[in-house]
Structure 1
Amino acid sequence: MSAPRARHRTPARSRLPRPAVAALVTAVALVVPVVAGCSPPSGPHAVPSEVREPTVVEVVDGDTVVVRVGRVDEHVRLIGVDTPETKHPSKPVECFGREASAFTRAVLPPGTVVRLERDVEERDPYGRLLAYVWRQPDGVFVNRELAEQGYAAPLTIPPNVAHADELVAAATRARERSAGLWGACGGPGVPAR
């Protein structure tokens, strides 16, 4: 009769192989910002679509939308553009503001899946998430479309300047064509009649 074989027991604290550790660290780096309601930066600052699908809940005005990010509804301020005011607490409704809001509602109706891209700063002084917004799956760059069609003037606030040249060029083309607020109002900042 042979002696019973000793059972090999794995120590309670075993080490994970290095590739497994790297994969775990990457997963945590992607999930933690999602739970916190912001996007993890990656090439350049884009949110991988496989992590989540941010979805439009409502349009507040021309340059602010509510997006469901994970389980959180985030007010998202579109970076680099400024549409005429419609809901500012201390400013009157501005010329072409209602049209800009209607355009954004048409481009981003509730349920639209979007891709959000951050720049340097995560939030504005009002707590809104700052982002460049692409409509999915067709990839329309909403910030640029607002400027190109004359619904927004460029608004460059450093350090958030990743797409500043592109947005200024789009607004310049709209102004040269007298599109939108440039033709109807003569430019931004004009009170509605």
Structure 2
Amino acid sequence: MKGLLEGKRKLIIIPLIGILSLAFLPIAIGLGAGWFVYKKVGSSKLKYSFLAIIALFTLTFGGVWISAMTSPSKPERNQEQTTQATPTPEAQTTAVETTKEPSPTQELTTPTNMQTAKMTRVIDGDTIDVSFDGKTERIRIIGINTPETVDPRKPVECFGQEASAKAKEYLADKTVQLEADPTQGERDKYNRLLRYVWIDNGTVDFGKLMIATGYAYEYTYNLPYKYQAEYKQAQKDAEQGKKGLWADDACPVATTKPTAKPVTQPTSAPTQTTTSGGGACKYSCTSPDRDCSDFSSHAEAQAFFDCCGFTATNDPMKLDSVGVGDGVACESI
């Protein structure tokens, strides 16, 4: 040992011992501690207990120490990950452009559960004939009503011909999409299918378009329907804009706006507009057709119902919709 540390050899041996001691520091400490216990502790039982504990700690910390010495440094790792995760300016620009560009499905807000049909005939502004699945069906369009033109029991109403002509302009020989509404039922009492009608590949609601351009009224038969709020707003906008039948000169001969016809007709409609005692009713008993949504309370609807002489079997405006009728108007209000 003394020969190894003499002359030039010590210039090599001493640094080597230092490097090995640093690399295996826990092992070196463990060996030193073990030698000390072996020499200084007299009791054999106590001595071997200490040696076992020293060996356990030496192996545990020695393995961790060697692993840490041989693994790459964490800062370099994190730097590599940061470099990989940071996109180039060109990639960032592309990502922004991709985010801003909407997909075709995002632009479409129309329903997807629609039946495609071919137009065969326009009856009037709110009733059409279509064919699909090898059969022809008559459609009563939900949520709208147009002035009468084809009812043999009524004269042609103001703006009725214009409404029918506009419907033919939008629908004649076209392919349309039909949408059902569970809240309105499948068919009316005349066995007509109750549907919304969409045009232009299912992107334009025909009923709302007719109301918005002033060729139809918003019409709630009994229960609220899917697009009721939109249709009512469309009518309000058309009125304010004096479009179509709402224009000041739309009906120059008539003193009032054209009436909205009811979906069903009574066997004998009442014509009186005054009570049996001679007092005038709040609204006309013949036109326009009124629904429960036109009254603020059940009491107001019942007063109108009684004033006009309506009964359970003679209810032209369908204010009493419980079964065959019980003489009580708009019980749901």
Q: Output the TM-score relative to the length of structure 2.
A: 0.41
Determine the structure 2 residue equivalent to 1:76: 139
**Cα distance between partner residues in 1 of 2:170 and 2:160:** 15
State which of 150, 154, 176 in structure 1 corresponds to 2:218: 154
| Amino acid in structure 2 at the alignment position of 1:59 | V
Alpha-carbon distance change, 132 to 160 in structure 1, aligned in 2, over 3 angstroms = farther
Pairing 1:108–2:178 present? no
Task: Give the C-alpha shift of residue 152 in structure 1.
Answer: 0.5
**Cα distance between partner residues in 1 of 2:113 and 2:220:** 20
Task: Give the C-alpha shift of residue 136 in structure 1.
Answer: 3.4
State which of 183, 189, 192 in structure 1 corresponds to 2:259: 189
Alignment deviations for residues 147-179 of structure 1 (CA, whole Å, 9 cap, x no partner)? 000000110123351111111111111111111
Task: Give the C-alpha shift of residue 91 in structure 1.
Answer: 1.6
The secondary structure found in structure 2 opposite 1:102 is helix
**Cα distance between partner residues in 2 of 1:170 and 1:124:** 25
**Cα distance between partner residues in 2 of 1:128 and 1:118:** 12
The secondary structure found in structure 1 opposite 2:181 is coil
**Cα distance between partner residues in 2 of 1:45 and 1:131:** 14
Determine the structure 1 residue equivalent to 2:235: 171
**Cα distance between partner residues in 2 of 1:182 and 1:46:** 34
Contact 2:130 2:138 in 1 (8 A): yes
Q: CA RMSD in A?
A: 2.0
State which of 180, 193, 197 in structure 2 corresponds to 1:118: 180
Structure 2 counterparts to residues 1-193 of structure 1, below 5 A: 46-47=113-114, 53-110=116-173, 112-120=174-182, 121-137=185-201, 139-159=203-223, 161-183=225-247, 184-185=250-251, 187-189=257-259
Percent identity at matched positions? 39
Task: Give the C-alpha shift of residue 187 in structure 1.
Answer: 2.9
Alpha-carbon distance change, 154 to 95 in structure 1, aligned in 2, over 3 angstroms = same
Q: List gaps (5 residues or longer) in structure 2.
A: 1-109, 261-333
Contact 1:99 1:151 in 2 (8 A): yes
Count of equivalent residues = 143
Misfit runs of 4+, over 2 Å: 43-47, 185-188
Q: List gaps (5 residues or longer) in structure 1.
A: 1-42
**Cα distance between partner residues in 2 of 1:160 and 1:127:** 21
**Cα distance between partner residues in 1 of 2:133 and 2:219:** 29
Alignment deviations for residues 12-55 of structure 1 (CA, whole Å, 9 cap, x no partner)? xxxxxxxxxxxxxxxxxxxxxxxxxxxxxxx97832x6xxx311
Contact 2:139 2:194 in 1 (8 A): yes
Task: Give the C-alpha shift of residue 122 in structure 1.
Answer: 0.8
**Cα distance between partner residues in 1 of 2:186 and 2:160:** 26
**Cα distance between partner residues in 1 of 2:232 and 2:138:** 24
**Cα distance between partner residues in 1 of 2:240 and 2:257:** 11
User: More relative contact order in 1 or in 2 (CA 8 Å, sep 6+)?
Assistant: 1
**Cα distance between partner residues in 1 of 2:200 and 2:194:** 18
**Cα distance between partner residues in 2 of 1:70 and 1:138:** 18
Alignment deviations for residues 71-123 of structure 1 (CA, whole Å, 9 cap, x no partner)? 1111111110100000113221100000000000000012x111111112111
Higher helix proportion (structure 1 or 2): 2
**Cα distance between partner residues in 1 of 2:258 and 2:233:** 16
Contact 1:45 1:118 in 2 (8 A): no
